[in-house]
Amino acid sequence: MKLFIGADHAGFELKQKLIPFLRELGYEVEDKGAFSYVEGDDYPDYIIPVAKAVAANPSARGIIIGGSGQGEAICANRFKGVRAVVFNGQYQPKDGRKVPHEIEVSREHNDSNILSLGARFLNEEETKAAVRLWLETAFSGDPRHLRRIKKIDEIIS
């Protein structure tokens, strides 16, 4: 599987650690920048190329990294066919409820194809575990989920 990756200054260091990890797992990784640390750079400059590449390559996925991952996902989701989700750590209820893992649901139900990570919320090991789980979790293909994804894609023409 081909992976496109991009990050601004806040995610630059984490991106640099993820690329060799992903290649060791056997993925083809194309870095869309930033290619050097530039404090105060603008995340759309690196997220737009990832989103465009994923939109043009339905079998590919993308990983985008910023401070919170929120703005990055908003930017990526402007492109038809992109389903970017934010992950900043798995929610752990304090009242004893069991909740599904967000990463698994994002793949199984939503066929997410871009994972947006918040570098200010995740450490390297948490990030690697989340990315691995996201890459290894398959879309269920359930007709109700396909129907919903189609409705989402029809919003952006």
User: Of residues 30, 104, 109, 126, which has the active-site annotation?
Assistant: 109
Decide if 9 is catalytic.
no
Q: What HEC string does the chain produce? A: CEEEEEECCCCHHHHHHHHHHHHHCCCEEEECCCCCCCCCCCCHHHHHHHHHHHHHCCCCEEEEEECCCHHHHHHHCCCCCCCEEEECCCCCCCCCCCCCCHHHHHHHCCCCCEEEEECCCCCHHHHHHHHHHHHHCCCCCCHHHHHHHHHHHHHCC
Q: Is 72 a catalytic residue?
A: yes
Catalytic residues: 72, 109
